[in-house]
Structures are given as structure tokens and as C-alpha cells.
Chain A
């Protein structure tokens, strides 16, 4: 009789199973398919935010870095060029570095600066001639990043005021060249990349933390311990399910943004999707980790504002990072949203590729890795004590 039992029982050595992983993924998606309210939240919130932010994203910011090359020379005792730069130096909307116009343009294209200004050699002389004879129109050259309306408005506002103060409103021809192949965006265009980044954080944290927390409160987590499911399969299952939800979310935002609100994507669409998935992945891992600290669904939802508010304030959603007080700017480097916005704005508005954005990709990739480790530790099949 003992012999018989021995033959019946063959211990199964656990190996990774795709079937079990997908079981978790499908389950996660099915649960959200049923959860109408969360579904509505996931669809409607991005659209509303797009509208609101599109309207709200105008106004001015401070401390925008610009480059000035002043070639003006004294003409009958005055140098209007240096008068203008003196006024600009006192204007807290801009932070000035003196360099050549050409290297300024290069910095603007690289996103290190927002405008390069050239005051020509005969500027004071042309002004004098204009005042005396009216036969010349003095020119003043600005090479400007017009992908952010708030930044552009601040720079142009400061420059115009400086001219008025030093010369008076005298019909100077302000020649603007737009950076990034002439990309020029309205508040809404600019809002969409930021909104993608923000919604990915905000909604994925809600959805992710709820998914994992639910398992705890329904008592099903303990039940899973009695099944062959491995912790790696469980984590991967969550990730697949949540990333699918994230993909649908990004698609909704993009479709509405592009077809309803007329947003533009200048860069590579595949790179954009890759960036969105990488950024989403980091936050899926993050939410699995955060779920450790939630005992119920209400607490799970509380994590969303907890992560969203600092992100909004410091990550460049409301105010571009360059517009923050200088002492606060380093803090923005630890806010994930900063890198999300950099990536999505870079690809969508500036047409940048991996070459220009590798630092941001590296940071987001690093985030993925760190939160992956934390997530793995969190879902380790830890039995109750």
C-alpha cells in the first residue's frame, strides 16, 4: 500500500510557467474591464486635463537661460546694445550668458538654452540714423525655442521691455528665428507630452497599487500561496496586464491629442512608444512596491496625489524646470516626471531622437531597474507571520 502511494505522488519541480504568468495578466485586465468607474477615470481624466492644461499653459516664467552676443559699438557717446543688456541683466525672467550667436544657436538646439540674441555691430549707429533720417530699420536677431509658449513669452517680453526702456518704442525690427526647424506650439501642443507623462504616473500608480492591494484584502493572496504560482510569474503577470492597460491609456491620450486637439508628433513615433512603455514600466514596478504600504483600496488611491502633487510642482508640468527658483531646480532631478516630460517633449515637440535624449532614457531605465528590484522584493512569496 505504501508503495502505491509513492508511485502516485511525484513532486513537481517548479519551473517558470508562461501559462501561470498569463493567467495573472488576463485576470488583472479582466478585473479592470469590470471596474467601470476606474475605466471612466482612465479615459476621461486625460481628456479633461488636456483641455484644462491647454488653456492654463500660458503666462511667463523666470530664470530662462539665454545667450547674448553684443557687437554694438559706441556711436556719438552711446552704446544702446549694452544699455539693453544691462536692463536684461536686471530682469529676473532671463539669465544671461555672453557667448557668440552661433554657439548660442547650438545650445538652443541642444536644449541647454532657450534663446540666442545677436545685437549687430552697427546697432547704435542704425538707431541714430533712423532717428535722424528715418531711412533705415535697425535689426535685432533672436534665435528662439518656440516649443514652450511660456518660455518664449518670457524671453520676448523681457527683450521688448529692455528695448523700450533703453531706446523707446522706435520701430526696431526684431528678427525672430524659431529653433528646432521652426517648431512653434500653442499651450495645448505643449500640454500633451506633459499630460502623457503625468497621466502615466497618476493613473498607473492608482491602477497598479489597487491591483496588488486587492489581492491582499480579498484574502486571495494567501490562497495563491497554496497554488504553484511563483512570485516571478506573479510580478511578470501584473506587469504584462498593467502595461497593456498603460498602452491603451497612452493610445487614448495620443488619439485625442492628435485628432481632436491637433497635437503634433515631430519625432519618431516608435521611439515615442518605446519611451512611453519604458516610463510606464518604471511606474508599474513602483506601484507594486508602493502597494506594500497600502492596507486597503482607499489607501491605495491616496498614493496617487502623494506622488502626483510633488511631480506637478517640481517635474515641469505647471512650470518648466528652468522657471523654478535656482535652489529648487536640483530637486526636480529626483522627480521622475521631469524625465518623462523631457522624453515626450523632446520626441514630440523638438523631433529629438536617442542622440539628444540618452541621458533621460538612461535615468528612466535606471528607475526601472531600481523599482524592479524593490518590486521583486515586495512580491516575494512571503508567507504571513
Chain B
């Protein structure tokens, strides 16, 4: 049914209870994300954004609920979609004891890229991410923002169709961030879907749609304009503060 669906990502009543915690980290999440959309997941610390992304990308086993990515059931068929998704996790997930180039090349090899495909794409990404000077630097010696950009390079090297950026622009300076958004838009134009989480509200505002999570659930969703109208606010930040107010999700 869903292969013909217009959504590239769908979740239905997704729930996650970690073995080591009693919290329902995700508690009945229903997400539908269209092809070519830029979707921003926002919410207070501990509201379940990372947990949700990890389940959707196939790194974490859901407690219950349904996930479909590109029409394939996750986690059952997650192997079929690995070539089409790119992930930049919240905790960088790059090899600190390899240099930047070795990191990117390692992931390129995992995606079966040939040298002739790798070199131009790699050069392009280094230029866009402003990492050209740092190609041979050990990942552990990169600055925080550069580590983040290295992680983005590893996520984009194989030209995926869906990209997951968990706090992708944390530590990236405002000038570069603006520049990245231009790039994100150009990816979107080529049909790439972007799912990102962020704590920077004017960044979230640049997304096509925003989902606000609280205690593992979506409590508000829509385009930035829709949300502003609905909640009678002039900024997303206001809405965020109003809706997440006083909520302590962590024990």
C-alpha cells in the first residue's frame, strides 16, 4: 500500500521504552513526511527527538508501532534502504583517530562508491562545508563545529535520498549556517528529503514543516506560518516556550 504513498517516511503509534529507563521516551508518534520536504523536529531536551530518529534510521529497536521508510518496513527491511539514507547523529559518530579524508572515504566505501564517483563528490562537499584546509587533520583535532561538518560530509557522500541531521548545525557559526541552508534548499530541489532536529528556532522556521515534540508525542505540527497563526504568535520561539513550558521529561 505504501510504496505508492506520497510519504517517504511514515510512523504509526511509534513507542519506545528503553530497557534501562522506565520513561516512555517516545509515546505514540505519528509522523508523515513527504518527498522533498524539509522537516524540523523541535522540542525540549529529552522530548524524544533523537530516540525517534534512531528508530526511523534502523539503529534502535522500537517497542511498538510501525515505521516505513521509502515504503519499506523498518526495522525488518532496513537493509534495503541503507543506500538511500544519510545520517549525521547528534554525537558526531566519526572516527576520532582517523583524519577527515579517511573518515569520509571509509563511509564512501561502505556505500560501494568507486574512486571516480568519490573524488568529485568529496571535493564538492569539502568546498561546501568549508573543510578544504582540514582534509588531512585528525578528526579529534577538529573544532566542535568542524566535527559536526565532518559528520555531515559522511552523511552526504553517497548522495542519499533522505538525510537525517540530529542537531546538525549545533556549533556551526551563523555565517556558515546560512550558507548551509542554501545548500539544503538545493538538495531539496533535487528531490532530497531532509529531516532535522534543532534547538535554534529561527533555523526551524526555515523548514517547510515543523513538528513540536513533548514527552514523546507530537503536540503541534504544521508550516511555520500555520503554527504562528494557530497559536497567535509572531515567532516559533514563543510557541515553543508556551507549549513546552514547565515540562520536565527527564526523571
Interface residues of chain A, those whose CB is within 8 Å of chain B, are: 1-2, 5-6, 8-9, 11-14, 17, 19-20, 22-23, 26-27, 30-31, 34-35, 214, 218-220, 222-230, 383-385
A220 touches B94 (CB 8 A): yes
A222-B59, A384-B60 known; A228+B161 contact, CB < 8 A? no
B95 touches A228 (CB 8 A): no
A218 touches B96 (CB 8 A): yes
Some 6 contacts from A to B, beta carbons below 8 A apart, are A2-B4, A6-B3, A11-B81, A222-B54, A223-B93, A385-B61
List, in ascending order, chain A residues with CB within 8 A of B5's CB.
Answer: 2
CB proximity of A75 to chain B, nearest CB, Å: 78
B106-127 to A contact mask, C-beta < 8 Å, 1/0: 1101111000000000000000
**Nearest A-chain residue to B6, judged by Cβ:** A2
**Nearest A-chain residue to B108, judged by Cβ:** A23
A222 touches B98 (CB 8 A): no
Kindly list the 5 A-B residue pairs having the minimum CB-CB distance in the complex, ordered from nearest.
A23-B109, A223-B93, A11-B80, A222-B59, A227-B110
Report the separation of the CA atoms of residues A35 and B18 in the bound assembly, to the nearest whole angstrom.
35
Report the separation of the CA atoms of residues A24 and B4 in the bound assembly, to the nearest whole angstrom.
37
Report the separation of the CA atoms of residues A35 and B95 in the bound assembly, to the nearest whole angstrom.
13
Report the separation of the CA atoms of residues A385 and B54 in the bound assembly, to the nearest whole angstrom.
11
B95 touches A219 (CB 8 A): no
Cβ of B82 < 8 Å from any Cβ of A?
Answer: yes
CB proximity of B173 to chain A, nearest CB, Å: 24
CB proximity of B119 to chain A, nearest CB, Å: 16
List, in ascending order, chain B residues with CB within 8 A of A385's CB.
Answer: 18-19, 61
CB proximity of B67 to chain A, nearest CB, Å: 12
A228 touches B89 (CB 8 A): no
A23 touches B6 (CB 8 A): no
Cβ contact of A219, chosen from B4, B72, B84, B91, cutoff 8 A: B91
Cβ of B187 < 8 Å from any Cβ of A?
Answer: no
Interface residues of chain B, those whose CB is within 8 Å of chain A, are: 3-6, 8, 18-19, 35, 54, 57-61, 70-72, 75, 77-85, 87, 89, 91-98, 102, 106-107, 109-112, 138, 161, 191
Report the separation of the CA atoms of residues A19 and B191 in the bound assembly, to the nearest whole angstrom.
29
Report the separation of the CA atoms of residues A154 and B95 in the bound assembly, to the nearest whole angstrom.
54
A11 touches B72 (CB 8 A): yes
CB proximity of B156 to chain A, nearest CB, Å: 13
Report the separation of the CA atoms of residues A383 and B58 in the bound assembly, to the nearest whole angstrom.
8
Report the separation of the CA atoms of residues A8 and B98 in the bound assembly, to the nearest whole angstrom.
34
A227 touches B59 (CB 8 A): no
List, in ascending order, chain B residues with CB within 8 A of A230's CB.
Answer: 79
A9 touches B161 (CB 8 A): yes
B161 touches A218 (CB 8 A): no
List, in ascending order, chain B residues with CB within 8 A of A219's CB.
Answer: 89, 91-93
**Nearest A-chain residue to B70, judged by Cβ:** A9
List, in ascending order, chain B residues with CB within 8 A of A20's CB.
Answer: 109-110, 112
Report the separation of the CA atoms of residues A22 and B5 in the bound assembly, to the nearest whole angstrom.
38
CB proximity of A25 to chain B, nearest CB, Å: 10
A30 touches B59 (CB 8 A): no
List, in ascending order, chain A residues with CB within 8 A of B57's CB.
Answer: 225-226
Report the separation of the CA atoms of residues A214 and B93 in the bound assembly, to the nearest whole angstrom.
11
B112 touches A27 (CB 8 A): no
Report the separation of the CA atoms of residues A17 and B112 in the bound assembly, to the nearest whole angstrom.
8
List, in ascending order, chain B residues with CB within 8 A of A19's CB.
Answer: 109, 112
A220 touches B95 (CB 8 A): yes
CB proximity of A295 to chain B, nearest CB, Å: 13
Report the separation of the CA atoms of residues A26 and B5 in the bound assembly, to the nearest whole angstrom.
41
Report the separation of the CA atoms of residues A230 and B82 in the bound assembly, to the nearest whole angstrom.
11
Report the separation of the CA atoms of residues A228 and B71 in the bound assembly, to the nearest whole angstrom.
18
Report the separation of the CA atoms of residues A1 and B6 in the bound assembly, to the nearest whole angstrom.
9
Report the separation of the CA atoms of residues A2 and B6 in the bound assembly, to the nearest whole angstrom.
7
Query: Which one of A30, A34, A220, A223 has the highest number of Cβ atoms from chain B below 10 Å of its Cβ?
Result: A223
**Nearest A-chain residue to B56, judged by Cβ:** A226
Cβ contact of A383, chosen from B8, B75, B102, B111, cutoff 8 A: B75
